[in-house]
Amino acid sequence: MDGKPASEVPVVRVKDKDFSLSIGRKKIASAVRETARSLSHDYEGMNPLFLVVLNGAFMFAADLIREIKIPCELTFTKLSSYSGTDSSGKVRILLGLNEELQGRHVVIVEDIVDTGLSMEFLLEELQAFHPASVRIATFLFKPDAFIKEYQIDYVGIEIPNEFIVGYGLDYDGYGRNLSDIYTLVP
């Protein structure tokens, strides 16, 4: 982390694997503030509806929304795609979207875009509700893993193509409570 010798980087055990500290809470907070600043500027007067993708984005969303300085609303959906540390490639909606999206300027709030498969699925599902516009705000983005074509409008931090936990993101349900982000030790 940030040029420290490997022996000094804190390691946590999550379930049955070791993860080493890769993004500290200060860097997280400043990336969240920066994203919120851009959104507050771009959506001035538009009453955006933030659509938070559960479970992973809950912590990012809670921090982001408190830094948004314009009138806005919040709603939630839930997708399922991962088990363990590998993408299953299948996406399902587990918590419904509804008509409140019609005519609204929707901002999808995600924890991480990896291959981009889940987000593509959600973008397609959203069309049925006729939003006025849809943009994506993801806290983390893995450009080397992304295999899709669509634009990602707001990115907090770009990261290498490695499996991470913390700040809402889990490994088999564990590690969401960590305030910093940790990378799987190979």
Check: CB of residue 184 under 8 Å from CB of residue 162. Answer: yes
Task: Indicate the residue whose CB is closest to Mg ion.
Answer: 56
Bridge partners for 49 per DSSP: 73, 106
Kindly report the three-state secondary structure assignment for every residue of 63-130: HHHHHCCCCCEEEEEEEEEEECCEEEEEEEEEECCCHHHCCCEEEEEEEEECCCHHHHHHHHHHHCCC
- Which residue, 111 or 180, has its beta carbon nearer to Mg ion? 111
Regarding 48 and contact with Mg ion (CB under 5 A), the answer is no
Q: What is the rounded distance in angstroms from the CA atom of residue 100 to the CA atom of residue 114?
A: 28
Q: Any idea of the CA torsion for 137, 117, 76, 172, to the nearest 10 degrees?
A: -110
What tokens appear for 58 in the block?
Answer: 């809950």
Q: Smallest gap, in angstroms, from Cβ of residue 20 to ligand 5GP?
A: 14
Q: Smallest gap, in angstroms, from Cβ of residue 44 to ligand 5GP?
A: 28
- Which residue, 22 or 77, has its beta carbon nearer to Mg ion? 77
- Which residue, 39 or 109, has its beta carbon nearer to ligand 5GP? 109
Regarding 175 and contact with Mg ion (CB under 5 A), the answer is no
Regarding 170 and contact with Mg ion (CB under 5 A), the answer is no
Binding footprint of ligand 5GP on the chain (CB under 6 A)? 56, 81-82, 87, 110-119, 163-165, 169-171
Q: Which does 114 bind (CB under 5 to 8 A by kind): ligand 5GP, Mg ion, none?
A: ligand 5GP
Q: Which of 111, 114, 170, 180 is catalytic?
A: 114
Stretch that binds Mg ion, among 29-37, 50-58, 81-89, 124-132 (CB under 5 A): 50-58
- Which residue, 10 or 160, has its beta carbon nearer to ligand 5GP? 160
What tokens appear for 179 in the block?
Answer: 């305030």
Query: β-strands 105-113, 133-141: how paired?
Result: parallel
In the region spanning residues 103 to 122, those forming contacts with Mg ion, defined by CB under 5 A, are 111
Active site residue 114: yes
Check: CB of residue 119 under 8 Å from CB of residue 154. Answer: no
Which residues form the interface with Mg ion (CB under 5 A)?
53, 56, 111
> Which residues are tagged catalytic?
114
